[in-house]
Structure 1
Amino acid sequence: MNNPFLPEKAPPSDFAIEQGLLGILLQRNHFYDEISWFQSEWLSVKHHQDIYNSILAGLLSGETVNTTVIASRHKDDAWYKENPEYLNELVKVYGFRPIDHLKGFANSIKRLYLKRVILEKSAEWQELAQSPDDQNVDSLLDTIETDVTGLRLRENDAVQFDLPTSINDFLHDLDLKIRGEFQSYRTGFEGLDNKLVGFVPGRLYILAGRTGMGKTAFALNLANAVSKQGRVLFFSHEMSRQDLVGRMASMSAGIDMQALQDGKGIPANSFNAIREAMKDMQIDIVDVGRMSIERIAQLCRAHKRKHKTSMVVVDHIGLVQASKNAQRLGKVHQVEEITNILKATAKELNVVVLGLAQLNRESTKQDQKRPMLSDLRDSGAIEQDADVVMMIHREDYYLKNNKPVQGVKMSDKAYASMISNWAYLKEIYKDVAEIIIAKNRHGNGGTVLTKFIGHHQTFTEQGDFSAIEDLS
């Protein structure tokens, strides 16, 4: 068909496939369900948008829509007066195409729309870049990153599946679980694997704890376990790449952490031992401080394309920068934006995302030190977006610094009993790290008991925890 309506200098578009989509829908109304996600704004010319909106309005009201119905609604429009046979020509040329053509047309039209938006945005970026103010570079980069993130969300917003498809996918996953073939990554801790079914791609995991509990060390233990099954991308906003590698060397080669820090007492042949122990680690480290969440998402996509990423670790969420707009709205909105994008990244790339989070300092003033979900800083968004929230707690950290003090009216006998109980608890909790599963969207909570071997930066489930288990 001729193209009498196309502007002389048209942005990316394909007039013919837009005609094809409309022609098929006019002839085969029941095909609409297959592209119910389609939006009229994606069409490149106004009269095509008007025709599509009229078709949609009729279908949603239960009408049978055909060329006569649409013609009656647009008989006074300029495009109809110029070519009254236009609708009939659409049906004649395209009306009997198969459903696969309709799906292909819809997807192509959307991609071309996104290209037009990119051109519009790039023009805005050029204008900002040509500003004489040389202090606006960071603002420009923030704008570009936000715009690109928005475009990617638009790119994925049309992914829909009907209930039968979803049921089949669920049953497929269930069959894989029954046969022990469900895709998940072993955490390195049997207790966690039993409760979480391992780390499942597409899910957001949060590891929270107070300062000094060993969040980074435990995250490295988890990353090391996953790196034996796939590639890990580790964002470190507090520690340098060398510091992280030092911890990994201590953990994998069994060399005292203090010796690696001060260089004293290093065993002979340690260099070869470290290289041998770490040669199969698939962990890539990004140690740029205060990185924006949009930049993190972009690097995750690039890493996924190049290395088929299995897991992403962000240490920690509190040091990630939100967009300028979220910053203006306050801390709660910043955390909400960050966790939303982390969750979207996990789903989009089908990777495990582990985000580390701090607990409120105020919670340390409570008599009960064991953390709860309410202790999370700005916890609402984190609780909402996370599939799993784990909290690391070391009771001996508090016991050893809180020896009971004899009260003025306390008898010596009562105080001796208190000291005895404190010493007993200090002994049974020595080096014990509790991994508390405070939220598990896909299963039960609970606690996994581990031992933290600080001088080697490792956690292990090996040990006698019977005395602690008896307390509960």
Structure 2
Amino acid sequence: MKAPIRRVDDASVPALARTAPHNVEAERQLLGAILVNNETYYRVSDFLEPAHFFLEPHKVIFERTALMIRAGKTASPITLKTFFPGDQQIADMSPTQYLLRLASDATTIINAEDYGRQIQELATRRNLIRIGEDMVNIAFDAPVDMPPRAQIEDAERRLFELAEAGRYDGGFVTFSDALRGSIEMAAAAFQRQGKLSGISTGISSLDQRLGGLQRSDLVILAGRPAMGKTSLATNIAFNIAAAYRAEERPDGTLETVDGGIVGFFSLEMSSEQLATRILSEQAEIPSNKIRRGDISDAEFEKLVGASQMMQSVPLYVDQTGGISIAQLAARARRLKRQKGLDILIVDYLQLLTGSSKKGDNRVQEITEITTGLKALAKELNTPIVALSQLSRQVENREDKRPQLADLRESGSIEQDADVVMFVYREEYYLKNQEPQEKGTDTWFKWEEKFNRMKGIAEVIVGKQRHGPTGSVELHFAGEYTRFSDLIRDDHLPERHE
């Protein structure tokens, strides 16, 4: 008796024994359609690249066809054949014969985009297979110095890049593409309220100096303890999240129109402490009173009203302390993929760790962190605001306004940052300089200066790639830790009794 014939299911065949997903017929018909009618190219040029084609000759044909069409020339089997050696063989045919066959296989222009999308999707599946095979191979033969966490983060990075439409392989872009993006940015800034090219901080005087927070920029916000750098960061984060407004694109995805989705890495404070601080800012009730429960019925109602308004704000907090720059990048990619992300805030830079072993040079570790943050800002196409401490040498100077040289491990921070801002409050230093004897000339001079500087903070823009440096004066309400635009008495409209 013969043994029963067993059908081998595809799922039991090793991945390497299977043919990668592809559709050669779709590739041939799309290329033929482009050769017959060059206008077809513009239906797929936004998303289709040579690397998406499965067969190597098809990659070359699409690339050379695109070059001719972009140069304003007609691409046809006859004009294209001169770009191939006469003795070359494509599927046992000469280049001319193969190009003519493509033209005869042409699909209609109506179906061109569908064919292009399928070719792109099959390329994405092939890349997924490649990433999966690499994960398996590395997991089997992992080097001793590569922990599983590092492999997970690397795989997550590659998957994120693949999820970002068409950007998996990277590479150069033409200057004309970059120029088009620049013009679109300028047009958007012209049409946007406030004429900003970047994301508004919610503080107009700061926006005027910076033009908003620019995409892919690394912004360093530095200051000595008690200057208010975390307060300014939380103010900006909440202002952006509260202003968030999005519109639906034709493909069903959301496009941010105003404000943005905010990711906040709070490496020093817990999420509850951060929420209490923001609640204090919005309800205008001192945070120490909120923590003690020392509030009136009216203040409690204000708290409830503020908390209800804040419920729907797209502000996401990660309170994990001591994470590495690689872990931060992986979590930021995950947030962008799952919820969206328009700006990332890191409080603060010196609490991050690099991949270096403990005891290694701290300056090298900070260099790795700032380089990683800048690369992440470009990858996510979002601004990253990283807070930074200043060295103690500020306290030894008579003029305590911070400078670029005061940044801890300043070399890499200053070099990698697109914008460096310092928060400075002279009121803080004057408070500690009050003369012991009241009523003297010295005390009255001190009192006059203290009253003049009370409630005033200075944001010093020490470096800016896209614009001028200089200072911006803001109002600082210390009891609520809130920054806002400064309105001086001499700028108020004239009063009429």
TM-score, scaled to structure 1: 0.72
Quote the sequence identity (%). Answer: 25
Q: Which secondary structure state, in structure 1, belongs to the residue aligned with residue 105 of structure 2? A: helix
Structure 1 partner of 2:128: 118
Structure 2 partner of 1:334: 369
Where do residues 318-467 of structure 1 align in structure 2 (5 Å cutoff)?
Answer: 318-320=350-352, 330-347=365-382, 353-377=384-408, 388-401=419-432, 425-462=449-486
Structure 2 partner of 1:224: 238
1:315-349 residue CA offsets vs partner (Å, 9 max, x unmatched): 23444456789x997532331121221244245xx
Structure 1 residues 104 and 322: CA distance shift in structure 2, 3 A: farther
Distance 1:113 1:50 in 2: 16
Q: Which secondary structure state, in structure 2, belongs to the residue aligned with residue 79 of structure 1? A: coil
Structure 1 residues 88 and 274: CA distance shift in structure 2, 3 A: same
Residues 1:251 and 2:291 aligned together: no
Structure 1 residues 153 and 28: CA distance shift in structure 2, 3 A: same
Distance 1:430 1:322 in 2: 40
1:79 positional shift: 2.9
Structure 1 partner of 2:307: 278
TM-score, scaled to structure 2: 0.69
Structure 1 residues 145 and 275: CA distance shift in structure 2, 3 A: same
Q: Which secondary structure state, in structure 1, belongs to the residue aligned with residue 479 of structure 2? A: helix
Distance 1:137 1:38 in 2: 35
Q: 2:206 aligns with which of 189, 192, 209?
A: 192
Structure 1 partner of 2:247: none
1:401 positional shift: 4.8
- The count of aligned residue pairs is 436
1:99 positional shift: 10
1:228-272 residue CA offsets vs partner (Å, 9 max, x unmatched): 3125432212110111122123222333333344x2744456554
Distance 1:68 1:203 in 2: 45
Matched letter for residue 86 of structure 1 = Y
Matched letter for residue 316 of structure 2 = D
Distance 2:243 2:268 in 1: 26
Q: Mean Cα displacement is larger for which, 392-401 or 199-208?
A: 199-208
Structure 1 residues 380 and 99: CA distance shift in structure 2, 3 A: farther
Distance 1:189 1:81 in 2: 67
Contact 2:220–2:421 (CA under 8 A) maintained in structure 1: yes
Distance 2:160 2:132 in 1: 14
Distance 1:114 1:373 in 2: 45
Structure 2 partner of 1:86: 98
Distance 2:445 2:208 in 1: 33
Structure 1 residues 188 and 137: CA distance shift in structure 2, 3 A: same
Matched letter for residue 400 of structure 2 = K
Structure 1 residues 385 and 47: CA distance shift in structure 2, 3 A: same
Matched letter for residue 225 of structure 1 = N
1:392 positional shift: 0.8
1:287-340 residue CA offsets vs partner (Å, 9 max, x unmatched): 1222623223323313544xxx55443323444456789x99753233112122
RMSD: 4.7
Q: Which secondary structure state, in structure 2, belongs to the residue aligned with residue 397 of structure 1? A: helix
1:434 positional shift: 0.7
1:132-179 residue CA offsets vs partner (Å, 9 max, x unmatched): 99x9332222222332344356833588765885586356336515x7
1:218 positional shift: 1.4
Distance 1:321 1:105 in 2: 47
Matched letter for residue 425 of structure 2 = R
1:374-415 residue CA offsets vs partner (Å, 9 max, x unmatched): 4445656666665544321122334455689xxxxxxxxxxx
Residues 1:140 and 2:168 aligned together: no
1:35 positional shift: 4.5
Distance 1:343 1:163 in 2: 14
Where do residues 15-164 of structure 1 align in structure 2 (5 Å cutoff)?
Answer: 15-23=24-32, 35=45, 40-49=50-59, 51=61, 66=79, 68-69=81-82, 72-75=85-88, 77=89, 79-80=91-92, 85-94=97-106, 98=109, 101=112, 108-129=118-139, 136-151=147-162, 155-156=166-167, 157=170, 162=177
Distance 1:104 1:358 in 2: 53
Structure 2 partner of 1:287: 319
Gap runs ≥5 in structure 2: 1-15, 245-260, 491-497
Distance 1:106 1:27 in 2: 16
Greater fraction of residues in helix: 1
1:181-205 residue CA offsets vs partner (Å, 9 max, x unmatched): 8787654434224434555667654
Distance 1:12 1:418 in 2: 83
Q: Mean Cα displacement is larger for which, 239-248 or 438-447?
A: 438-447
Structure 2 partner of 1:169: 184
Distance 2:392 2:413 in 1: 17
Q: Which secondary structure state, in structure 2, belongs to the residue aligned with residue 300 of structure 1? A: helix
Gap runs ≥5 in structure 1: 1-6, 405-415, 467-472
Q: Which secondary structure state, in structure 2, belongs to the residue aligned with residue 342 of structure 1? A: helix
Contact 1:206–1:389 (CA under 8 A) maintained in structure 2: yes
Contact 1:293–1:322 (CA under 8 A) maintained in structure 2: no
Q: Which secondary structure state, in structure 2, belongs to the residue aligned with residue 89 of structure 1? A: helix
Contact 2:196–2:212 (CA under 8 A) maintained in structure 1: no
Contact 1:43–1:113 (CA under 8 A) maintained in structure 2: yes
Structure 1 residues 27 and 268: CA distance shift in structure 2, 3 A: closer
Contact 1:395–1:429 (CA under 8 A) maintained in structure 2: yes
Matched letter for residue 251 of structure 1 = E
Distance 1:381 1:60 in 2: 41
Q: 1:315 aligns with which of 324, 337, 347?
A: 347
Contact 1:297–1:342 (CA under 8 A) maintained in structure 2: no
Structure 1 residues 165 and 227: CA distance shift in structure 2, 3 A: closer
Distance 1:429 1:114 in 2: 59
Matched letter for residue 390 of structure 2 = L
1:276 positional shift: 1.6
Matched letter for residue 153 of structure 2 = D
Contact 1:316–1:356 (CA under 8 A) maintained in structure 2: yes
